Chains A and B, each alone.
Chain A
Amino acid sequence: MEDSENKSEEFIPRGAVAFFIVMIVVFTLMWFSIYFEVLSRG
């Protein structure tokens, strides 16, 4: 029982964090690609 609680406290959602970082990077690239296109058209 104690072991189970310790494991729960140490749990880090690595998969979710990795997915989140990839999602943020992709969204940022998409957003800024359109943004710089607008800037280049003046």
Chain B
Amino acid sequence: MHGLFGARRRALAAGWLAVVLSSLLAAPVAAGAPSGEALMRAVDERDEGEDVEWQIEMTLIDRQGQTRTRTARLYRKKFVHANQRQERQVTVFLSPANIRKTGLLSFDNRGQGSDDDIWLYLPALKKLRRIPASERGDNFVGTDFTYEDVKGGFAWGDYTYTLKGEQNWTDGGQSHKVYALEARPRTPALARALGFTRTEILVRPDVALRVQQKFYDAQDNLDRTLTAYDIRQVDGIWTFLRLEAENHETRHKTVMALKSVRYNQKLADDFFNERTLLSERVQ
């Protein structure tokens, strides 16, 4: 197995994409704006590096304003296996003490058309246990994020799109043009797995990033809002440094702050296997 794209090829592809998108976006929406599918494909294929390491701090805020904090390291790398795309991810919790060293190893087999493979490491028992694949819309370890939210890329092929228009989006005192579009899961089964029936997405075309996504349930009630802030270039790659997820039903919110982001560290392929969890080498 090897990394999917070389960093240079990815940078070239991203540059080409930006040129095409910019030329398209200069035109009015009604007269030649990119399709929703093209926009989201660009989001999926944008340069995210060969591999990435995040050190994250997740603050969980309940409706009374009480907070709980979790810190973790998250590593992600893209692989190609028999010409099929696979993304592997290692998440190790650093705090609080009751989940310290607990780890998750996951293989995203979306490119192979099958469910994820997930292993949970429980340090008190020294037990690495295979667990059933979660639904993509299931909450990620008690936060308001879903497993789908914390994966890289965007499964653009799973949706149909309607481009709604363009508007301005302000982040860090700067205004940016964004496209508004609506996406619906292609099948009822996909909608069940994802946990929503439609989603409204705001995309910044200049960086090919979603800045906000609203999710609606089967009764078309606003269920959840995901918002990205503080978008900057890190190691030449556009990156959000803060991501918020708000559950409108429970009025619970999770703020994920990226305390450290490192791309293209040439993480070894075999870093993404059970050894990393069993040896408790991440701290």
Is B one of A's binding partners? no
Binding site for A on B (CB under 8 A): none
